[in-house]
Amino acid sequence: MEDQYLLSMNNISKEYYGNRVLKGVNLKVKPGEIHALVGENGAGKSTLMNILFGMPVIYSTGGFEGEIQMSGESTSIDCPHTAMNCGIGMVHQEFMLIPEFNVTENIKLGREIGEPTAFSKIFGNLLDKMNWPQMSRDARKALDSIGMMNIEEYAKVAGMPIGYKQFVEIAREIDKTGIKLLVFDEPTAVLTEGEADRLLEIMRLIAQKGIAIIFITHRLTEVMAVADSMTILRDGEFVARKDVKEINLARIAELMIGRKVDKLVDDSLLRSRDLSDDKIALEFKNYHVDMPGERVKGMNIKIREGEIFGFGGLAGQGKIGIANGIMGLFDTQGDVYAFGKRLDLSKLGEALRNDIAFVSEDRRGVGLLLGESIERNITFSAMQIKDEFLTHIGPIKLLDKAKADQHTRDMIKLLDIRCTGTSQAAGSLSGGNQQKVCLARAITMDPKILIVSEPTRGIDIGAKKLVLEYLTKINREQGTTIVMISSELVELRSLCDRIAIVSEGKVFSVMKPDDSDAAFGLAMAGVREEEAA
């Protein structure tokens, strides 16, 4: 029965620097089938596709285990070129198009048809003359075959609507001879609804020609609409291969998320406060942030004093933009109130002056001065904003070295920062310890509101637990309101009082941590419960 599959990837495992991201995953696709590959961010979808394409990143990190079969024959795909020769094509999420070139040039990129000349006979085919008439005929044919009669093959790509660019990409893959399998990586993420519908139609059209499609997406409704079957991954593990007919939305969502929520935090500390709707720490009214890739588009939410509030959602939906907007790193619109006072976010440092501290998701870029010492990193913001760790001699301010040193020692002890001393450069610490330094700096500000963005990204499990425990501790002991932005739902559910799922730049729904897995899965995918039924 094996040979009925066009592609089967058997028992694939992959390790990145000791971190197992794929654990014995299977992926099987039949010819002419639309096969969806679903899973949360970090479930291992991209790694699996990188393996399929023989991307250099796989081989520079020690290869993978397992076997790839094309049409029943074991194949070794060790570079993107081999993948191409095997008839595997990819429609990229970020367009691999050159805006300054026209459609034909883009479709034929790297596969130009040349006409030999006397020179090229002698000096090799690099001197072939380009045969543009033939190439534009091919481009026309490819465009027609996906029903894109109204894209002109001689039009420049720059200035085309995003949807058109996507179709040009597809036409390029179709134009390749012997294409058997096409991977669509989140093709609808950047499209409008009309364009997305069109795309799904084109996918069906391509599948009818006998070309298999692997469809990677977060939009489960699209999976239900177009796919024949699907493979579900979770945390690098293979969960199930299902036919779409035998499953429903809620079940998929459950399989994607389904795992026990470990209580990372000691229960004794939990839910011992009285939170009231009258005491609002932070309020957003029609809040917009113009952060490329993470836009916030009109958010309304109230966060209560003393609360641990979570923002979850998929990458690119805008949750990261929320915090970066408040801190003044990107342009904002709308109103933000802290304890009833409107913040003027156009002034840099406004949030810091209003007792809001921030731990950035971009540790190495925004969070730390990598070349500076731990001490300087921890005391820097407080020094700037609160005039702490300074001795005043007339108009001159000098660093109070002893005080800063003492404080840094306290912090190193408190947060268990593994280092050689207060003067070690922050850049030379491990990820987890860098994160602790960031946290230490934020706490040094003695904030009333602490915003942490992706606090556990890229740090090991021990450090993770410590960071989360500490967040809970300062919330309980000092009454600090904590806003936590994270891609890891488990983490949010383990300590937040409420979790807002952000979708397309807006709050999609506000959920309780003990809502069902299915409910969370559907909210993440942007599906209302009634639609799922």
Partner 1 sequence: MSQKTNVLQKAGSFLFDNKVMIAFAAICVAAIVLSGSPMTFIVDGVFTRITRNTFTVLALIIPVLAGLGLNFGIVIGAVAAQIAVFCVVYWGFGGFSGMLLSVLIATPLAVLFGYLVGKLFNRMKGAEMIAGLILGYFADGLYQLLFLVIIGGIIPVNNPKLIISGGVGVKNTIDLTGNLKYAIDSVRMVDIVTVLFYVVLAITAIKVVLHLLKKYQLHKGDFILFGVVGLLFGISYIPVIERFLSTDRLGLLDALTAVLIVLAVVQIIKIVKSIWIDKKPAKNLVKPILALLGYGLIFGLTFIPEIENVLLFVKLPVLPFLLIAGLCWFNHKILSTRLGQNMRTVGQSQSVAMASGINVDQTRVIAMIISTVLASWGQLIFLQNIGTFSTYGAHTQIAQFAIAALLVGGASVQKATNKQAIIGVILFHTLFIVAPQAGKQLFDNAQIGEYFRVFVSYGVIALSLAMHAWKQFKKEVQPPTEGIDLGNSALSPMAEKQQILD
Site for partner 1, rule CB under 8 A: 80-81, 84, 92, 96-101, 105, 109-112, 114, 116-118, 120-121, 125-130, 150-152, 155, 159-164, 190-195, 198, 290, 292, 295
Closest CB 330 distance from partner 1, rounded Å: 10
Closest CB 186 distance from partner 1, rounded Å: 14
Q: Do 526 and 508 contact (CB within 8 A), yes or no? A: yes
Quick one: how far is CA 346 from the chain centroid? 27
Q: Return the amino acid letter for 515.
A: D
Closest CB 180 distance from partner 1, rounded Å: 18
Cα–Cα distance measured from residue 255 to residue 239, given in angstroms and rounded to the nearest whole number: 7
Cα–Cα distance measured from residue 506 to residue 502, given in angstroms and rounded to the nearest whole number: 6
Closest CB 152 distance from partner 1, rounded Å: 6
Which CB sits closer to partner 1, 59 or 380?
Answer: 59
Which CB sits closer to partner 1, 149 or 393?
Answer: 149
Closest CB 393 distance from partner 1, rounded Å: 41
Alpha helices in 327-460 (DSSP H): 350-353, 374-386, 401-415, 431-444
Closest CB 298 distance from partner 1, rounded Å: 15
Cα–Cα distance measured from residue 357 to residue 326, given in angstroms and rounded to the nearest whole number: 10
Which CB sits closer to partner 1, 1 or 126?
Answer: 126
Closest CB 161 distance from partner 1, rounded Å: 4
Q: Which residues contact 327 (CB under 8 A, 6 or more apart)?
A: 351, 352, 356, 358, 360, 451
Alpha helices in 387-498 (DSSP H): 401-415, 431-444, 461-478, 489-495
Which CB sits closer to partner 1, 159 or 395?
Answer: 159
Which CB sits closer to partner 1, 1 or 118?
Answer: 118
Q: Do 500 and 302 contact (CB within 8 A), yes or no? A: no
Pairing of strands 73-75, 88-91: unpaired
Length of the chain: 533
Q: Do 294 and 322 contact (CB within 8 A), yes or no? A: no
Which CB sits closer to partner 1, 292 or 340?
Answer: 292
Which CB sits closer to partner 1, 129 or 418?
Answer: 129
Closest CB 356 distance from partner 1, rounded Å: 25
Q: Residue 420: in which H helix or E strand, if any?
A: none
Q: Do 477 and 465 contact (CB within 8 A), yes or no? A: no
Which CB sits closer to partner 1, 8 or 166?
Answer: 166
Q: Which of 75, 52, 73, 66 is nearest to 3 (CA)?
A: 73
CA atoms within 13 A on the CB side of 433: 19
Which CB sits closer to partner 1, 152 or 488?
Answer: 152
Alpha helices in 9-111 (DSSP H): 45-52, 56-59, 80-85, 103-107
Pairing of strands 481-485, 449-453: parallel
Q: At residue 76, what are phi and psi to the nearest 5 degrees?
A: -110, 115
Closest CB 156 distance from partner 1, rounded Å: 9
Which CB sits closer to partner 1, 202 or 417?
Answer: 202
Cα–Cα distance measured from residue 256 to residue 247, given in angstroms and rounded to the nearest whole number: 13
Pairing of strands 34-38, 212-216: parallel
Which CB sits closer to partner 1, 158 or 240?
Answer: 158
Which CB sits closer to partner 1, 62 or 161?
Answer: 161
Closest CB 362 distance from partner 1, rounded Å: 15
Closest CB 190 distance from partner 1, rounded Å: 6
Q: Do 12 and 48 contact (CB within 8 A), yes or no? A: yes
Closest CB 326 distance from partner 1, rounded Å: 20
Cα–Cα distance measured from residue 113 to residue 116, given in angstroms and rounded to the nearest whole number: 10
Cα–Cα distance measured from residue 26 to residue 18, given in angstroms and rounded to the nearest whole number: 21
Cα–Cα distance measured from residue 497 to residue 270, given in angstroms and rounded to the nearest whole number: 9
Q: At residue 101, what are phi and psi to the nearest 5 degrees?
A: -95, 160
